[in-house]
Amino acid sequence: MSSIESLGDLRGKRVLVRSDLNVPLDGTTITDDGRIRASVPTIKALAEAGARVVVTAHLGRPKGAPDPKYSLAPVAERLGELLGQPVAFATDTVGESAEQVVRGLGDGDVALLENVRFNEGETSKDDAVRAAFADRLASFADAFVSDGFGVVHRKQASVYDVALRLPSAMGGLVKAEIDVLRRLTVDPERPYVVVLGGSKVSDKLAVIDNLLGKADKLLIGGGMVFTFLAAQGHEVGKSLLETDQLETCRTYLREAAEKGVEIVLPTDIVVDTQFPSGDTVPSPRVVPASAIPADALGLDIGPDSAAAFAAALADARTVFWNGPMGVFEVPEFAEGTRAVADALTKVQGLSVVGGGDSAAAVRALGFDESAFGHISTGGGASLEYLEGKELPGIAVLER
């Protein structure tokens, strides 16, 4: 894939950058600016090279029309703070405001267009509709830089179609993500440990399929663990359970044994009688993983399991972690996730936090991001890469 350097001298040229600025908001307050901070180096490098930088991104899932609660206006303000320079904000994507803002850019200036998903052409399955929107976006620029790794698994106008219309290159963030993911899939340094959590086994099926033949150990926590426990014949009470995946889990356990891959499941679970909410006071208790009461649901791995997971990571040289071990947003159910994160900071090798909730947990629990080898912004894109799928936003840059 071409790097930014391949685009030549960018002074005075308009460069359209597809960033991933899909941050969580509480009203208009950004609650986690990790993705904005990750996007800054590429944008800053382009501005310092004298380019006229036009950033496009999405926020949330609006239905192809403007929706004030998904406006990127708060993001523009925070991006400007992080860049140390004003960021002009267009109140539409390809309309009059966008045209005026782009025309007004000088060398080294930065603009952010309003949420690209406010236009139905961004995510349309109709190639012609998507192409028409991509034509308008491409008209704003002389070159395109793809730097939103979190969306490269989507065949969308600002990710895929624009790259067909302009001289294109990958940004520093996309390059870093691809480099790390290749290290996870091509001759990884061993021992290689994969830690999977999150809600559902079904969300991770293809990842498990692909990594069972590559990893030495697979540690499983989060909501998905209860389907594995049920597959072993254990009672899981009111815990999250995918009954249609029970046989799949039995197959994974059997295949892992045949391939010499150690699957580590929790031996104890932190439970409560109801899912935590703002109206309830948590009443956690620890029970054996093999004996979850019928009136309880599992909300975190227990202390013995947390210690066992940390021990399993102690000698690892490569670690990939995707998915929290419990409901980390509630302190009473955050200790399993904290233990895994802490163990990753001590890995003498490559430690990768696989984006999404795992990355949010690291920040929410107060860890220094520099203590990890790599914190992915990819989420679903990272998982699809590890599943062995072709990512449209990467393939188009390799054409």
Catalytic center residues? 35, 200, 356, 380
Is 355 known as a binding-site position?
yes
- If you search the block for the tokens 């999250």, which residue do you land on? 240
114 belongs to an annotated ligand binding site: no
CA–CA distance, 362 with 294 (Å, rounded to integer): 32
357 is in an annotated binding site: yes
103 annotated as a binding-site residue: no
Closest CA to 173 of 43, 42, 57: 42
Structure tokens at 107: 């060398």
Is 171 annotated among the ligand-binding residues? no
153 assigned binding-site residue:
no
Residue 20 known to bind ligand: yes
CA–CA separation, 270 and 31 (whole Å) = 27
Q: Which of 325, 338, 351 is nearest to 184 (CA)?
A: 351
Question: Which of 234-255 are b and which e, b meaning 16 or more Cβ less than 10 Å from the residue's Cβ?
Answer: bebbbbbbbeebbebbeebeee
Residue 165 counted as an annotated binding residue: no
To the question of whether residue 130 is assigned a binding role by annotation, the answer is: no
Distance from CA of residue 240 to its chain's centroid?
23
Residue 54 near residue 113 (C-beta atoms within 8 A): yes
Contact assessment for residue 90 and residue 104, using Cβ atoms and an 8 Å cutoff: no
What is the rounded distance in angstroms from the CA atom of residue 36 to the CA atom of residue 30?
10
Whether residue 58 is annotated as binding a ligand: the answer is yes
Q: Binding site annotation covers 260?
A: no
Torsion, CA 178, CA 386, CA 158, CA 132, rounded to 10: 130
Establish whether 21 is an annotated binding residue: yes
Query: Is 142 annotated in some ligand binding site?
Result: no
Residue ranges of the annotated binding site for ATP are 204, 298, 329, 355-358
Can you say which residues are annotated as belonging to the binding site for (2R)-3-phosphoglycerate?
35, 117, 154
Query: Which residues does the annotation place in the binding site for substrate?
Result: 20-22, 35, 58-61, 117, 154
Which residues line the annotated binding site?
20-22, 35, 58-61, 117, 154, 204, 298, 329, 355-358
